[in-house]
Amino acid sequence: MKKIVLLAIACMAGLPVFSQRFVHGIGFSTFIDHTSRYGSIASFGLSYAIRYNVMETDKMTVSVGIPLSVGGSGESDTNMESYYDAEGNIVYYYTRDEDDGPRTKPRGMVDIPLIINLNFAGFSSLDNKNSVGLFVGGGLAYHYGPVNVKYKDRNGGSFTDSTTQHAVGPIGNLGMRIGLGKKKNGAIEIRGSYMKSLTKRQPDIYGISLLYILPKTGKYANSYGLY
């Protein structure tokens, strides 16, 4: 997993120097890792998004992008104890029946989608200066995030293994872009997404992101865009 993340970061860091069609933004994202059996867990992260417009017209573009997010989940205050299983993994369990519910301990999260978008109106290309734009599209995503797996012990009691799991599957997203200021040097993007996991018993992923689209510098200082 570390090799995949490092490769994605290296590629995204180097791509913008080759063409003004590359545009990027930074911001924050929230993800909900949901399973029907074990409930939902929220995680939060920093996002860096880059796209390349493979086709451009006056009113729309087709783009390929990678909005990468890295973060984690927090920890809740719950009376719990723990033990190590036969494989050396730590397992958490509740000390009172009324505490038998999901518990979120600190865990990491990585989200790497590859998305093809149709971009309309504002910010669909570097030359489109409408105030508002829309986009919709989909692709394939990899997600590594927190889950709580509930078990029954040999005495009939319940305990929860607070862990992380990998998931891969198709993803869809949509959102809008709003220009900033009179010159619209930069923009705000709001993006919602849903990933359906193809990995057995792994969570489906709901996401929402808020990004600031970085304005161009140098001779392209009056250009702008996003992934």
* Domains by residue range for the chain, with CATH: 2-78+107-147+164-220 (2.40.160.20)
Identify which of 129, 97, 146, 119 has the alpha carbon closest to the alpha carbon of residue 49: 119
pTM, entire model:
0.72
In the block, residue with structure tokens 């958490």: 92
Per DSSP, the three-state class of 170 is: strand
pLDDT in the model for residue 81: 57
Per DSSP, the three-state class of 97 is: helix
pLDDT in the model for residue 164: 83
Query: What is the rounded distance in angstroms from the CA atom of residue 16 to the CA atom of residue 4?
Result: 20
Query: What is the rounded distance in angstroms from the CA atom of residue 169 to the CA atom of residue 188?
Result: 27
CA distances 161 to 41, 65, 74, 204, Å, are 13, 35, 15, 19
Per residue of the chain (227 residues), what is the pLDDT tens digit? 554 444 444 554 444 444 567 778 899 999 998 876 666 788 899 999 999 999 888 889 999 999 999 998 876 545 555 666 666 666 655 544 444 454 556 788 999 999 999 999 888 876 777 889 999 999 999 999 887 777 666 666 666 667 788 889 999 999 999 988 777 677 899 999 999 999 876 788 999 999 998 776 545 444 433 44
Q: Which pair of structure tokens corresponds to residue 37?
A: 């059996």
Per DSSP, the three-state class of 184 is: coil
